[in-house]
C-alpha cells in the first residue's frame, strides 16, 4: 500500500512524491464518470430500436445515471471521508465496471435503465473520492492550480469527448460498447491506484446520514419525473400528475434541509453551503450544469435529426467544444493565481451564453464552419473559464473533515443541474415542436417532412435560448456572491492532513 504524505515538525505537509502520477489516475476515473453522462446520447436511437424503448422513456437512459449520481454523491463523499478515500475509489471503480457490463449486455429497456442507475451509484463513490484525494495530495497553491486545471478541463470537456466516442463506437461497433468501454478504463484506473494513490481519511464522528440520502434522492427523482410528465402528450403543465410530482419533489427537498439541521452528523453540513463563496459556487454549478447538459443533448439531436449527420460525423462535429475547453483551461490555470476566481467565473458564463445565443439561430441548412463551429468554440471557452476556478473555489476554507462532503456537493450540483435542466429543456422543446406543427399543418408528404424538420429547429432553438438564460444567470450569481480574492485561494491549510 502506498504511504500517505508525512507531516513535518513545523506542521507543514510534505509533498507526496507520486502526486502527479496519482493525478493521472484521478484524471482517468473522472473522464470515465463525466463522459458517461453523454456518451449514450448519440447511441440512443440505436439502443431504443434494439430494446424496444419508447421515445417517451428513452430519456431515462440519461437521467437514471445523472439522478443516481447526483442524488448519492453527498453520501459517497461522506463514505470516502470516513471509510478511506483510496478504498472508496477502488470499490467505485470495480462497481462501475460491473454496472457497465450489465448495461452493455442488457436485453430490455428496464434492465438498461437499472444498469445506468447502478453506474450512477458507483460513480457517486468514485467521483468524490477522486476529488478529495486531489485536494489532500496537492497542497502547494501553484501545483494545486495546475491540478485543478486538469480536473476542470476534464469536467468541462468530458461531455464532448463522450459524444465523439459515442459516435465512433455506435457507427463502427455497437451502441453496447458505449457502456462496455468503461470496463478496461475502470480496470486500468484500479490497477494504477493500487500502486500510486495513497490512503487518507478524515477523523472524528464517522456515522452516516442514511435518511438524508434517501430523502434528497427521492426528492430529486420526483422533481425530474414531474418535468418529464409535462413533456408528454396529453399531460403538459396543466396536468395534476405533473404538479403532484413537482410538489412532492419540492416538499421532500425542504424536508431534507430540515433533517440536516436536526442530524448530529448530516449528509450535507449546512455550514458548507451557507458560506457565501461556496454557496455561490454551488449555485453557479447548478445553473451551468443545467445549460450544459441540455446543449449537448439538443445539439446531438439537431445534427442527426435535422442536418442528417451520421453518428460518427455528429461526434466529430462536437469536437470544437473540447478544443475551446482545453484552451480556456490552460489560460485559466495560469491566470487564476493572479486574478482570483471571480473575473474568470463571470467571463466564462458570458462566453458560454454567447455560444448558446448563436445556436439559437439555427436553421434546417445551417453551415457548420460559419455557424456551428464558432458557436461551439465560444461554448467550450466559456466552460473552461468557469470550471477551473469553480473547482478550486468550492473547497476554499473547507476543513479536512468535510473535504469529501464539499467535493461531493460540487459534483452533485453539476449532475443535479444537468438532470433538472435536461428534463425542463426537453419539456420546453417538446412543447414548442408541438405548437409549431399545430400552427403549420402540412398538405403533402414532402411538406410534412419539411414541417417536421422546421418544428425540430423551432423546438431546439427555444431550448438553446433558455440554456443561454440559465448560464447568464450563473454569471450574475458569480458577480454577486463571489468575494474571494486571489490571496484567499487554498494553499493546503485545513485540508492537507491525511492519515
Q: Could you tell me if 279 and 195 lie in one domain?
A: yes
Does 330 lie in the same domain as 247? no
Question: Do residues 47 and 196 share a domain?
Answer: yes
| Confidence (pTM) | 0.83
Please report whether residue 7 resides in a domain: no
**Together in a domain, 217 and 363:** no
C-alpha distances in angstroms, 459 versus 45, 462, 470? 19, 5, 17
If asked whether residues 274 and 302 sit together in one domain, one would say yes
478 pLDDT tier (thresholds 50, 70, 90): very high
Which phi and psi (to 5°) does residue 53 adopt?
Answer: -80, 135
* 334 and 321 share one domain: yes
User: pLDDT for 168-183, tens place per residue?
Assistant: 999 999 999 999 999 9
Question: Hey, is 58 helix, strand or coil?
Answer: coil
Half-sphere exposure of 282 (CA within 13 A, CB side): 23
Residue at which a domain ends, from 266, 292, 315: 266
Angle at 27 between CA 385 and CA 325, to 5 degrees: 25
Residue 421 C-alpha from the chain's centroid:
11
Which of 266, 282, 305 is the last residue in one of the domains?
A: 266
Q: Which of 251, 266, 281 is the last residue of a domain?
A: 266
Domain count, the chain: 2
Query: What 3-state class would DSSP assign to 240?
Result: helix
CATH number, domain containing residue 426: 1.20.1250.20
Cell of 348: 466564462
* Radius of gyration (C-alpha) of the chain in whole angstroms: 22
Note the pLDDT tens digit of each residue in 47-75.
Answer: 988 999 876 677 788 888 888 888 888 88
First vs last Cα of the chain: how many Å apart? 13
Mean pLDDT of the chain: 85
How far apart CA 164 and CA 179 sit, in angstroms, is 14
Q: Looking at the structure, tell me whether residues 256 and 282 fall in a common domain.
A: no
Tell me if 142 is assigned to some domain.
yes
The alpha-helical segments, DSSP class H, found in 105-262 are: 109-137, 141-172, 177-180, 182-196, 210-231, 240-262
pLDDT in tens, 329-357: 889 989 998 999 999 999 999 999 999 99
The domain of 147 spans: 19-200+267-488
- Burial code (b: 16+ CB inside 10 Å, e: under 16) for 386-421 equals bbbbbbbbbbbbbbbbbbbbbbbbbbbbbbbbbbbb
Amino acid at each position: 500500500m502506498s504511504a500517505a504524505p508525512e507531516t513535518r515538525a513545523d506542521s507543514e505537509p510534505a509533498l507526496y512524491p507520486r502526486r502527479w502520477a496519482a493525478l493521472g489516475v484521478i484524471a482517468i476515473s473522472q473522464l470515465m464518470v463525466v463522459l458517461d453522462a453523454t456518451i449514450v446520447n448519440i447511441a440512443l436511437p440505436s439502443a431504443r430500436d434494439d430494446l424496444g424503448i419508447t421515445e417517451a422513456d428513452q430519456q431515462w437512459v440519461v437521467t437514471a445515471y445523472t439522478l443516481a449520481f447526483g442524488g448519492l454523491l453527498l453520501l459517497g463523499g461522506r463514505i470516502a471521508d470516513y471509510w478511506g478515500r483510496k478504498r472508496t475509489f477502488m470499490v467505485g471503480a470495480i462497481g462501475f465496471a460491473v454496472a457497465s457490463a450489465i448495461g452493455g449486455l442488457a436485453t430490455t429497456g428496464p434492465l438498461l435503465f437499472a444498469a445506468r442507475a447502478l453506474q450512477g451509484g458507483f460513480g457517486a463513490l468514485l467521483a468524490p473520492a477522486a476529488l478529495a484525494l486531489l485536494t489532500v495530495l496537492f497542497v502547494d497553491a501553484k501545483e494545486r492550480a495546475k491540478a485543478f486545471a486538469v480536473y476542470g478541463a476534464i469536467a468541462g470537456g468530458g461531455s464532448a469527448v463522450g459524444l465523439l466516442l459515442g459516435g465512433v463506437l455506435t457507427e463502427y461497433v455497437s451502441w453496447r460498447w458505449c457502456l462496455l468501454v468503461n470496463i478496461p478504463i475502470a480496470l486500468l484506473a484500479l490497477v494504477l491506484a493500487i500502486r500510486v494513490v495513497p490512503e487518507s481519511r478524515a477523523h472524528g464522528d464517522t456515522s452516516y446520514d442514511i435518511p438524508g440520502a434517501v430523502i434528497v434522492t427521492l426528492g430529486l427523482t420526483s422533481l425530474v419525473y414531474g418535468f418529464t410528465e409535462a413533456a408528454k402528450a396529453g399531460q403538459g403543465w396543466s396536468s395534476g400528475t405533473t404538479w403532484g410530482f413537482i410538489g412532492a419533489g419540492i416538499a421532500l427537498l425542504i424536508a431534507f434541509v430540515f433533517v440536516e439541521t436536526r442530524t448530529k452528523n448530516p449528509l450535507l453540513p449546512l455550514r458548507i453551503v451557507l458560506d457565501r463563496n461556496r454557496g455561490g459556487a454551488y449555485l453557479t454549478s447548478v445553473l451551468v450544469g443545467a445549460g450544459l447538459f441540455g446543449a449537448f443533448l439538443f445539439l446531438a439531436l439537431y445534427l442527426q435529426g435535422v442536418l442528417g449527420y451520421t453518428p460518427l460525423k455528429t461526434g466529430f462535429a462536437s469536437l470544437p467544444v473540447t478544443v475551446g475547453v482545453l484552451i480556456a483551461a490552460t489560460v485559466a490555470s495560469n491566470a487564476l493565481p493572479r486574478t482570483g476566481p471571480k473575473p474568470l467565473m463571470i467571463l466564462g458564463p458570458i462566453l458560454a451564453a454567447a455560444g448558446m445565443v448563436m445556436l439559437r439561430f439555427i436553421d434546417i441548412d445551417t453551415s457548420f464552419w460559419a455557424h456551428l463551429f464558432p458557436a461551439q468554440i465560444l461554448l467550450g471557452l466559456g466552460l473552461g473559464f468557469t470550471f477551473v476556478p469553480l473547482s478550486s473555489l468550492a473547497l476554499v476554507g473547507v476543513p479536512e473533515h468535510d473535504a469529501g462532503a464539499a467535493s461531493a456537493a460540487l459534483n452533485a450540483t453539476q449532475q443535479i443541474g444537468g438532470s433538472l435542466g435536461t428534463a425542463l429543456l426537453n419539456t420546453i422543446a417538446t412543447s414548442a415542436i408541438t405548437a409549431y406543427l399545430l400552427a403549420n399543418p402540412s398538405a403533402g408528404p414532402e411538406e410534412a417532412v419539411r414541417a417536421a424538420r422546421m418544428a425540430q429547429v423551432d423546438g431546439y432553438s427555444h431550448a438553446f435560448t433558455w440554456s443561454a438564460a440559465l448560464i447568464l444567470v450563473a454569471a450574475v450569481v458569480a458577480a454577486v456572491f463571489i468575494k474571494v480574492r486571489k490571496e484567499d485561494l487554498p494553499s493546503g491549510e485545513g485540508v492537507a492532513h491525511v492519515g
